[in-house]
A = this chain, B = another copy of it.
Amino acid sequence: MDIQQVSDTLEIQNLGYRFADAANRRDYPAFKALWADAGVWHIGAPINLHFDGREAIGQAIETLLGRWEFFVQLPHAPVITLAGDTATARWTVMEQARTLDRKTGNVNLSFYDDELVRDGGQWRFLKRAYATRYADETPLAGRAW
């Protein structure tokens, strides 16, 4: 890889890491800034949600995280294919969460399939499509801080 490919690879990895970091720490402005204006966030079965545009996604993350006492996403194994000013990426994520009433847990293993775009000098999400592979809603016995 040349320096441009190396830099693009690290910046696209970083975009996925910032997504998790912003969600995990509930930094909503940081989360919203990761998306292109025309960004699309598609969440497949069994959740089935679809958000069009950075504004809708910025509102969605607040609503979605508002359901959870805690929510942590752990991103893994970014496989990135560069194509000039666009790119694709695949990730495997584990997520752990518990509802505010502490009655329902959520431990899942899911895939993200992403389309990225270089947008004003910065890589951003044009589309993230989420597909659940395994999910367990057994109550979780631990303590959150």
Contacts of A64 in B (CB 8 A): none
A142 touches B138 (CB 8 A): yes
For the complex, give the distance between the alpha carbons of A141 and B14 in Å.
Answer: 33
A17 touches B77 (CB 8 A): yes
Give the oligomeric copy count. 3
A28 close to B (CB within 8 Å):
no
B75 touches A76 (CB 8 A): yes
In the A-B complex, the 3 residue pairs with the closest CB atoms: A136-B142, A17-B77, A20-B77
Q: List 24 A-B contacts (CB under 8 A).
A: A2-B3, A2-B7, A3-B6, A6-B10, A9-B10, A10-B10, A16-B77, A20-B76, A24-B77, A25-B111, A70-B133, A72-B133, A73-B92, A74-B74, A75-B76, A76-B76, A108-B142, A131-B145, A132-B145, A134-B142, A134-B143, A134-B144, A136-B140, A137-B142
